[in-house]
Amino acid sequence: MNHQARVYENVFEMLPSEVNPTPLVRINKLNPGAEFPLYAKLEWVSPFGSVKDRAAWELLRDLEDRGELVPGRGMVEPTSGNTGISLAAMARARGHRLLAIVPNKIPLEKKLLLKIVGADLEVISDELCPAPGLGDGSINLAKTHAKASAQKYVLPNQYENPKNAEAHFKTTGPEIWKQTEGKITHLFASLGTCGTVSGTSKFLRSKNPNIKVIAVQPTEGHDVPGLRNVSQLGVSKLFDPSLVDDILEIDFHLAYTRALELCQNEGLLAGPSSGLIFEGALEIVRRDKKGHGVMIFPDNIFKYTTNMTKHIPGLSDGTQPK
C-alpha cells in the first residue's frame, strides 16, 4: 500500500490508522471561541463510511483469528445501522455473511444500505413500554439466535466485546494525539456502544491525564440513530464512567439543526450525531473559554435525509414539481 499516492491492493488497506488517519478539520464560522479551536474528526472518510469501520474490523479479525467463522457459520449482530453496514460489507468481501438485527425506527436509508452491502436483515419493533432488565429488543434477539443456533451464528457483540474499545485505543487515540501534536485538551464524543469514548479516552489519558473527555447524549425519547440516552446505557458493558469527565444531555432536536448548520456553513456534511456532539462542544467552549478540542464526527448526512425532513420544517418543500 502507498498512503501518499493512495494506491491500495484491497479496500482494507484504506482503513484508518496512525499512518493513515481520518482528517481533522477546523470549525471556522460556527465556533465563537477565539481561544478554543475546535476540530472535527471526519470518520466518514473511511472506506465503509463511519466510525464503526474501526470496531467492525477489529471484531471481524478477532473472530477470523479464533476460527469462529467457518463455512456455513456467519455472524449475527444487533445494530442501528453503521456497525452492520461496515461489518456486512467487510464480511461479504471476505466470504462471510451477516444477519443484522435492527430496530424498526432506524432510517430507511440504513435498512436499504444494509441490504445493498449484502446483509441479511431482520427488523424488529423496539417501541415498547420501558422495562427494567429487558435490555434492548434487537440485542436480545441477536443473543437468542447466537445461543439457539450456534452452529449458524456467532455474535461479535459490539455492546460487550472489549475489542470494540480496543480498536479505538489502537487507532483513534493515537491518530488524534499525533494530529494535534499533543495539544488536545478536550475530547468530545457521543455515547452508543461507548467503545469510541472508552478506547480513545483511555489512550489519550495515558498520554495526558488532564485531557477532559466530554460525552454527549440525546434527551430521552430521541430518534438519533446509534446514540443512547443514559437511561438506555445499561446495555453497554463498555461504558466506563472513570474515563469520562462530563456527560452532557442535549435536546435531541438540536442534533438535526446543528447538522444542518454544519452542512450549510462549514461545508461539513455531518450527520445528526455529529450535530449533537457539536452542540455539546459549544457548551464547553462557552464554559471553559480556552482549549483545543477534537470532536469525533461519526458519520455523514447521507443516511439521514428522511430523518432530517422530520426535524427540519420545510426541508422537503419544493422537492416536487408545482
Report the catalytic residues. Answer: 52, 273
d(CA 22, CA 200): 14
**Cell 437468542 found at:** 144
In the bound complex, what is the minimum distance in angstroms from residue 142's beta carbon to other proteins? 9
Q: Which is nearer to other proteins, 104 or 264 (CB)?
A: 104
Q: Which is nearer to other proteins, 159 or 203 (CB)?
A: 159
Nearest by Cα to 142 from 101, 93, 194: 101
In the bound complex, what is the minimum distance in angstroms from residue 127's beta carbon to other proteins? 3
In the bound complex, what is the minimum distance in angstroms from residue 160's beta carbon to other proteins? 11
Q: Which is nearer to other proteins, 104 or 305 (CB)?
A: 104
Q: Which is nearer to other proteins, 30 or 230 (CB)?
A: 230
Q: Which is nearer to other proteins, 5 or 131 (CB)?
A: 131
Which residues are near other proteins by CB under 8 A? Answer: 104, 124-125, 127-135, 137, 140-141, 143-145, 147-149, 234
In the bound complex, what is the minimum distance in angstroms from residue 128's beta carbon to other proteins? 6
In the bound complex, what is the minimum distance in angstroms from residue 308's beta carbon to other proteins? 20
